[in-house]
């Protein structure tokens, strides 16, 4: 292990060189950092993570290029706990410095188009010459091999190609993609693969190059849908909120504009309790609704009955009433609801970090609570913020050498 | 030749049902961990009641959902309400490096196996507790599941995208996105905690994973935008010039045009129509304000195209585009076949089928299906006798008491 020994967290001592950008890579390395790995994000002023300058996503930001590089909101949300350096990889001296860093690192993580790292002289084989035990993960749209390895892609396209959009939407409507969540799910899966490879390396001394396909990442999460085709030749369509066994199982209108509450009833006991809450206790014995199969058969009628009750009531009131009776019920929450959710605050789901340019900001923290975490949340790095630590202390360059490299635009 | 899995030698007990905990267990099992899935008789994991089933005939040993999520595991069936069944489970947990549990915390506590007792008995244990809302906070006891956690976590509210009618409800994405994401999230934390134990001598850990927060984690960038700018995202507005979904004559494609060169490639693909030819279209800002004016013409062009033609010709022009594939198309997708993505699994009840593989190719420690999903109690005898040291006589006693169940002999 090569990372700083004084850090905390279960991955302390692991050092990761992070060449990722946008969402799918940066969130993966942030997860590693939140477990204590020392993650060094490598950018340059000419080629910085584009998320630094946009609110969430370049298409939706009104004037993206006018946001200063350290103030992008989504950058801050998925690059916490990392160190940042600026190194110009178009210069051979920059490539040399990367190789020296690889010599004192455990993992290289990148999500450029397949082949890009190789063109810069930073392919896995090049890097293994400096570090034969290196673990490298390359995450790409469709994987590094095969006839479509060069295809570009973003989260919504992966969702479509992977087979998930086809099953998302109203039964009578078009397929729907989701959002960048696909990138963050793939990030999670790729972080898992990297930690697995660390286990393997520690057991055998052997590193490896992990080829991660983001489309495959989508398909691996609909395994049962693909088996339906294998078993029955069926390609499933869209089901809205419906479940194959449960009813009621839907999102119901609540009082107010665009206010909704999700309700899922699993057992006969839960249905009897629901019937009482909505003032229709007789429904529990109604032959149309007497067991799960009957309720599922008469789901449309049931949805009408439940909607008539929910429509004139507050969604939190509904969720609380039903939750108290042991029924799964939750408002369909938007981001503003989440930010103000007292339950999430009680659990510390949001962390506050101080930023020299924008002040204190809250972000969603690690997606788990771990005993003895050993890691405190730190804000995302400013561009080049840790050049001194990395180049002087880690690589042992002198002040003069660093000044020279800065003059020559190698360290930018 | 047996290859080595990354988690060879790691011992995991999975006391978990449906998707989240079982998918988490599968991730480790397919990488070589010895995962013992503990099910409660008589019916076991409720995923066994869920489809798909061959020929659409429900059968507890033929669920495709169960078969996919439980590959590579051994299965035991113990009645925890029987003292000897509980004792066997206690010994199983004492053997384990990791316990994956997705029951309400009160369940294990009522069995005398709460976190305090667990770590006393097994100080190195990594205990992953997967629950709808987490183990703390005002909603810790609340019931939840796939649908409610997806909406509670903020992703449902954004779907379906480009929804034209807000009198229709927001929806859950298809399948079990909450369960899978929660399982993946827990797997990262568990793998990390195991590494701390192995490399730095860390002790056991409690890992508390909330389904709501596993979903929330995926909309964290939207949340950041809400905190920064008070913009709240929803399923409603059109968002040009993302382009997004286009309806072709035989299905849909999804395209994303971000850089100006992507736009130019797309205009070329459309055959350079006059209405998109002006130089003003070459900037993102202009397109952001005006794309809706030509949206109908783009849609009309698309209806005259075949989706695969647009997909591959578009991709050749360098922008992000792909067809909306259904299950049949995914199973026949040339890229997946070229990469050997699918894996053949022969299950005694389900039969032979191709399963989805893994998105990571790991040449030094390739994931593999070690064995098909277990029948209910298939490995009860093997695990109790070989792993826990019960004698054949003791095992026979437990069988007689119905403290342990075995799969029916065929």
- ipTM of this predicted complex? 0.97
Q: Do A197 and B362 touch (CB under 8 A)?
A: yes
Active site residue A183: yes
Burial class of residue A70 (count of CB atoms within 10 Å of its CB; 0-12, 13-18, 19+): buried
Mean pLDDT of A83-95: 95
Instruction: Identify the weakest region by mean pLDDT among A361-370, B67-76, B180-189, B226-235.
Output: B226-235
Q: How confident is the model at residue A113 (pLDDT cuts 50, 70, 90)?
A: confident
The CA-atom distances, in angstroms, between B138 and each of A176, A327, A333, B134, B147 are 34, 16, 17, 10, 20
B355 with B261, same domain: the answer is no
| C-beta separation of A111 from A27 below 8 A | no
Q: What percent of chain B has pLDDT over 70?
A: 97
A285 touches chain B (CB under 8 A): no
Residue of chain B minimizing CA distance to A329? B148
| C-beta separation of A138 from A27 below 8 A | no
**Min CA distance, B369 vs chain A (Å)?**
14
B147 with B40, same domain: the answer is yes
Q: Do A192 and B138 touch (CB under 8 A)?
A: no
Identify the CATH number of the domain in which residue B147 sits. Answer: 3.40.50.10540
Q: How confident is the model at residue B227 (pLDDT cuts 50, 70, 90)?
A: confident
A331 touches chain B (CB under 8 A): yes
Question: Which residue, among A314, A322, A226, A155, has the nearest Cα to B155 in the 3D structure?
Answer: A155
Q: Among residues A18, A49, A70, A183, which one is catalytic? A: A183
From the list A142, A323, A368, the residue facing B189 with the nearest CB is A368
Q: What share of chain A is helix, strand, coil (3-state, %, to 5)?
A: 40, 15, 45
* B184 neighbourhood in chain A, CB within 8 Å: 185, 188-189, 192
Q: Which of residues 368-387 of B touch A (CB under 8 A)?
A: none
B170 found inside a domain: yes
pLDDT at residue A321 tops 90: yes
Identify the CATH number of the domain in which residue B255 sits. Answer: 3.30.1540.10
* A329 neighbourhood in chain B, CB within 8 Å: 148
Q: Do A178 and B158 touch (CB under 8 A)?
A: yes
- What region does A396 belong to: left with phi over 0, alpha with psi -120 to 50, or beta? left
pTM: 0.97
Question: How far is Cα B124 from Cα B216, in angstroms, rounded to an integer?
Answer: 30
Question: How far is Cα A157 from Cα B321, in angstroms, rounded to an integer?
Answer: 6
Choose one of B312, B331, B350: the last residue of a domain: B331
Question: How far is Cα B273 from Cα B191, in angstroms, rounded to an integer?
Answer: 54
Q: Do B156 and A332 touch (CB under 8 A)?
A: yes
Averaged pLDDT score across all residues of chain B: 94
B381 found inside a domain: yes
Number of A/B CB contacts below 8 angstroms equals: 527
- Write the CB contacts of B42 (distance below 8 Å, at least 6 apart in sequence): B405
Q: Which of residues 169-198 of A touch B (CB under 8 A)?
A: 169-170, 173-181, 184-186, 188-193, 195-198
Q: Do B361 and A331 touch (CB under 8 A)?
A: no
Which tokens is B209 given?
């994973």
Q: Do A77 and B224 touch (CB under 8 A)?
A: yes
Instruction: Identify the weakest region by mean pLDDT among B42-46, B146-150, B284-288, B368-372.
Output: B284-288
pLDDT at residue B397 tops 60: yes
Instruction: Identify the weakest region by mean pLDDT among A1-5, B361-365, B370-374.
Output: A1-5
Disruptive mutation site among A224, A254, A306 for chain B (greatest number of B CBs within 10 Å): A224
Instruction: Identify the weakest region by mean pLDDT among B57-61, B76-80, B159-163, B240-244.
Output: B240-244
pLDDT at residue B240 tops 60: no
pLDDT value of position B409: 45
Mean pLDDT of B334-345: 98
**What is the residue-wise DSSP string for A242-259?**
--SS-SSEEEEE-SSTT-
B17 with B39, same domain: the answer is yes
The CA-atom distances, in angstroms, between B325 and each of A157, A162, A177, B52, B250 are 10, 7, 12, 19, 11
Q: Do B149 and A225 touch (CB under 8 A)?
A: no
B364 with B389, same domain: the answer is yes
A330 touches chain B (CB under 8 A): yes
pLDDT value of position B371: 98
B224 found inside a domain: no
Question: How far is Cα A227 from Cα B254, in angstroms, rounded to an integer?
Answer: 24
B95 found inside a domain: yes
B206 with B265, same domain: the answer is no
B400 with B323, same domain: the answer is no
Mean pLDDT of A149-174: 96
> Taking the CA atoms of chain B, what radius of gyration do you get in angstroms?
25
Question: Which residue, among B108, B115, B283, B335, has the nearest Cα to A370 in the 3D structure?
Answer: B115
The Cβ of residue B245 has, within 10 Å, a number of other Cβ atoms equal to: 21
Disruptive mutation site among B188, B191, B262, B288 for chain A (greatest number of A CBs within 10 Å): B188
Q: Do A344 and B328 touch (CB under 8 A)?
A: no
| C-beta separation of B211 from B178 below 8 A | yes
pLDDT value of position B135: 98
Burial class of residue B231 (count of CB atoms within 10 Å of its CB; 0-12, 13-18, 19+): middle
Residue of chain A minimizing CA distance to B253? A160
Per-residue model confidence as pLDDT tens digits over B353-365: 999 999 999 999 9
Q: Do A10 and B67 touch (CB under 8 A)?
A: no
Averaged pLDDT score across all residues of chain A: 94
Which tokens is A192 given?
């898992």
pLDDT at residue A120 tops 80: yes
pLDDT value of position B166: 87
Domains of chain A from N-terminus onward = 15-220+349-407 (3.40.50.10540), 249-332 (3.30.1540.10)
From the list B64, B245, B350, the residue facing A177 with the nearest CB is B245
* B327 neighbourhood in chain A, CB within 8 Å: 163, 166, 222, 225-226, 228-229, 234-236
Question: Which residue, among B112, B208, B247, has the nearest Cα to A366 in the 3D structure?
Answer: B208
Mean pLDDT of A347-376: 94
B109 found inside a domain: yes
Domain span holding position B267: 244-331
- Write the CB contacts of B324 (distance below 8 Å, at least 6 apart in sequence): A160, A161, A165, A166, A175, B245, B251, B252, B253, B254, B307
Question: How far is Cα A265 from Cα B63, in angstroms, rounded to an integer?
Answer: 22
Q: Do B160 and A169 touch (CB under 8 A)?
A: yes
B257 with B291, same domain: the answer is yes
pLDDT at residue B292 tops 90: no
pLDDT at residue A57 tops 80: no
Please count the structural domains in chain B: 2
pLDDT at residue A127 tops 70: yes
Choose one of B297, B331, B365: the last residue of a domain: B331
Per-residue model confidence as pLDDT tens digits over B67-104: 999 999 999 999 999 999 999 999 999 999 999 999 99
**Min CA distance, B380 vs chain A (Å)?**
26
Question: Which residue, among B326, B300, B321, has the nearest Cα to B254 in the 3D structure?
Answer: B321
B238 found inside a domain: no
SS3 letters for chain B?
A: CCCCCCCCCCEEEEECCCCHHHHHHHHHHCCCCEEEEEECCCCCCHHHHCCCCHHHCCCCCCCHHHHHHCCCCEEEEECCCCHHHHHHHHHHHHHCCEEEECCCHHHHHHCCCCHHHHHHHCCCCEEEEEECCCCCCCCCCCCCCHHHHHHHCCCHHHCCCCCCCCCCCCCCCCCCHHHHHHHHHHHHHHHHHHHHHHHHCCCCEEEEEEHHHHHHHHHHHHHHHHHHHCCCCCCCCCCCCCCEEEEECCEEEEEECCCHHHHHHHHHHCCCCHHHCCHHHHCHHHHHHHHHHHHHHHHHHHHCCCHHHHHHHHHHCCCEEEECCCHHHHHCCHHHHHCCCCEEEEECCCEEEEECCCCEECCCCCCCCCCCCCCCCCCHHHHHHHHCCCCHHHHHHHHHCCCEECCCCC
Residue of chain B minimizing CA distance to A215? B359
pLDDT value of position B289: 82
**Min CA distance, A399 vs chain B (Å)?**
34
pLDDT value of position B234: 84
Place of tokens 């095969």: A146
pLDDT value of position B290: 87
Which helix H or strand E contains A262, and what residues bound it? Answer: strand A260-264
The CA-atom distances, in angstroms, between A114 and each of A45, A94, B278, B316, B333 are 23, 20, 34, 15, 20
Per-residue model confidence as pLDDT tens digits over A257-298: 999 999 999 999 999 999 999 999 999 999 999 999 999 999
Q: Do A176 and B162 touch (CB under 8 A)?
A: yes
B294 touches chain A (CB under 8 A): no
Question: How far is Cα B308 from Cα B324, in angstroms, rounded to an integer?
Answer: 9
A247 touches chain B (CB under 8 A): no
Q: Do B175 and A164 touch (CB under 8 A)?
A: yes
Q: Which of residues 158-197 of B touch A (CB under 8 A)?
A: 158-162, 166-177, 180-181, 184-189, 191-197
Q: How remote is the C-alpha of A15 from its chain's centroid?
A: 21
B153 touches chain A (CB under 8 A): yes
pLDDT at residue A4 tops 70: no
Residue of chain A minimizing CA distance to B204? A371
pLDDT value of position A3: 53
pLDDT at residue A67 tops 80: no
The CA-atom distances, in angstroms, between A145 and each of A112, A140, A213, B358 are 14, 10, 9, 15
Q: How confident is the model at residue A103 (pLDDT cuts 50, 70, 90)?
A: very high
B27 with B77, same domain: the answer is yes
Per-residue model confidence as pLDDT tens digits over A377-406: 999 999 999 999 999 999 999 999 999 999
Question: How far is Cα B66 from Cα B350, in angstroms, rounded to an integer?
Answer: 10
B270 with B379, same domain: the answer is no
Per-residue model confidence as pLDDT tens digits over A163-208: 999 999 999 999 999 988 999 999 999 999 999 999 999 999 999 9
Q: Do A216 and B143 touch (CB under 8 A)?
A: no
B38 found inside a domain: yes
Residue of chain A minimizing CA distance to B54? A231
B30 found inside a domain: yes
Question: Which residue, among A101, A96, A138, has the nearest Cα to A116 in the 3D structure?
Answer: A138
Question: How far is Cα B404 from Cα B385, in angstroms, rounded to an integer?
Answer: 12
* B148 neighbourhood in chain A, CB within 8 Å: 262-264, 328-330
pLDDT at residue B237 tops 80: no
B206 with B67, same domain: the answer is yes
Disruptive mutation site among B33, B100, B155, B171 for chain A (greatest number of A CBs within 10 Å): B171
pLDDT at residue A2 tops 80: no
B328 touches chain A (CB under 8 A): yes
pLDDT value of position A7: 73
Mean pLDDT of B251-257: 94
Choose one of B307, B331, B355: the last residue of a domain: B331
B349 with B322, same domain: the answer is no
B105 with B197, same domain: the answer is yes
């Amino acid at each position: 292990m090569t990372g700083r020994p004084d850090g905390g967290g279960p991955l302390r001592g692991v050092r990761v060189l992070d060449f990722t950008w946008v969402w799918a890579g940066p969130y993966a390395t942030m997860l590693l950092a939140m477990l204590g790995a020392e993650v060094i994000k490598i950018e340059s002023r000419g080629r910085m993570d584009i998320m630094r300058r946009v609110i969430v996503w370049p298409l939706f930001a009104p004037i993206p290029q006018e946001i200063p590089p350290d103030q992008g909101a989504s950058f801050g949300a998925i690059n916490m706990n990392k160190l940042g350096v600026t190194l110009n990889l178009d210069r051979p001296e920059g490539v040399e410095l990367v190789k020296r860093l690889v010599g004192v690192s455990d993992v290289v993580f990148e999500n450029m188009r397949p082949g890009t790292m190789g063109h810069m002289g930073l392919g896995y084989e090049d890097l293994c010459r400096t570090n034969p035990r290196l673990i490298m993960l390359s995450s790409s749209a469709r994987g590094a091999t095969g006839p479509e390895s060069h295809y570009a892609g973003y989260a919504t396209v992966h969702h479509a190609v992977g087979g998930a959009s086809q099953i998302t939407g109203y039964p009578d409507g078009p397929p729907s993609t989701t959002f960048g969540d696909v990138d963050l799910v793939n990030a999670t899966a790729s972080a898992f693969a990297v930690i697995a490879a660390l286990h393997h390396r520690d057991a055998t001394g052997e590193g490896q190059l992990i080829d991660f396909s983001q489309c495959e990442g989508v398909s691996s999460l609909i395994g049962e849908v693909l088996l339906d085709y294998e078993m029955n030749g069926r390609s499933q369509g869209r089901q809205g909120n419906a479940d194959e066994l449960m009813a009621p199982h839907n999102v119901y209108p609540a009082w107010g504009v665009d206010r909704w509450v999700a309700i899922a009833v699993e057992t006969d006991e839960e249905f009897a309790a629901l019937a009482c809450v909505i003032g229709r206790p007789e429904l529990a014995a109604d032959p149309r609704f007497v067991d799960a199969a009957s309720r599922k058969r008469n789901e449309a009628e049931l949805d009408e009955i439940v909607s008539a009750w929910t429509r004139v009531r507050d969604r939190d009131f509904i969720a609380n009433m039903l939750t108290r009776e042991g029924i799964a019920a939750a408002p369909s929450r938007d981001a503003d609801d989440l930010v103000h959710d007292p339950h999430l605050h009680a659990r510390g789901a949001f962390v506050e970090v101080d930023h020299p340019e924008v002040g204190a900001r809250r972000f969603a923290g690690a997606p788990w609570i771990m005993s003895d975490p050993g890691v405190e949340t730190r804000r995302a790095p400013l561009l080049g913020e840790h050049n001194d630590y990395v180049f002087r202390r880690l690589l042992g360059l002198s002040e003069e050498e660093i000044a020279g490299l800065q003059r020559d635009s190698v360290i930018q | 030749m047996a290859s080595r899995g990354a988690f060879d030698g790691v011992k995991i007990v999975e006391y978990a049902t449906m998707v989240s905990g079982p998918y988490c267990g599968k991730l480790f099992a397919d990488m070589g961990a010895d995962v013992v899935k503990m099910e409660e008789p008589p019916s076991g994991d409720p995923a066994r009641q869920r489809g798909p089933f061959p020929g659409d005939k429900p059968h507890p040993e033929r669920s495709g959902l169960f078969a996919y999520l439980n590959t590579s595991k051994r299965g035991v069936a113990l009645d925890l309400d029987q003292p000897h069944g509980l004792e066997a489970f206690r010994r199983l947990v004492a053997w384990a490096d990791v316990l994956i549990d997705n029951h309400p915390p009160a369940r294990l506590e009522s069995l005398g196996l709460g976190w305090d007792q667990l770590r006393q008995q097994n100080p190195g244990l990594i205990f992953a507790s997967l629950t709808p809302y987490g183990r703390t906070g005002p909603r810790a006891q609340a019931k939840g599941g796939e649908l409610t956690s997806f909406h509670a976590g903020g992703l449902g509210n954004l779907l379906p995208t480009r929804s034209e009618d807000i009198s229709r409800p927001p929806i859950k994405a298809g399948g079990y996105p909450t369960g899978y994401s929660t399982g993946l999230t827990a797997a990262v934390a568990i793998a990390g905690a195991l590494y701390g134990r192995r490399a730095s001598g860390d002790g056991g850990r409690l890992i508390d994973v909330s389904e709501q927060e596993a979903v929330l984690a995926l909309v964290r960038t939207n949340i950041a935008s809400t905190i920064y700018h008070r913009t709240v995202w929803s399923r409603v507005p059109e968002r040009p010039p993302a382009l997004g979904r286009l309806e072709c004559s035989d299905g849909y494609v999804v395209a994303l045009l971000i850089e100006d060169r992507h736009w130019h490639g797309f205009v070329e693909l459309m055959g350079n129509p006059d209405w998109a030819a002006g130089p003003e279209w070459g900037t993102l800002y202009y397109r952001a304000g005006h794309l809706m004016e030509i949206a109908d013409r783009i849609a009309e062009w698309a209806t005259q195209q075949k989706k695969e033609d647009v997909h591959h010709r578009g991709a050749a022009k360098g922008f992000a585009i792909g067809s909306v594939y259904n299950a049949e198309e995914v199973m026949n997708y040339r890229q997946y076949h070229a990469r050997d993505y699918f894996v053949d699994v022969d299950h005694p009840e389900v039969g032979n089928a191709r399963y989805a593989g893994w998105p990571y190719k790991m040449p030094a420690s390739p994931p593999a299906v070690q064995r098909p999903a277990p029948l209910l109690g298939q490995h009860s005898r093997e695990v109790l006798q070989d792993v826990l040291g019960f004698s054949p006589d003791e095992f026979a006693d437990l069988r007689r008491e119905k403290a342990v169940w075995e799969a029916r002999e065929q």
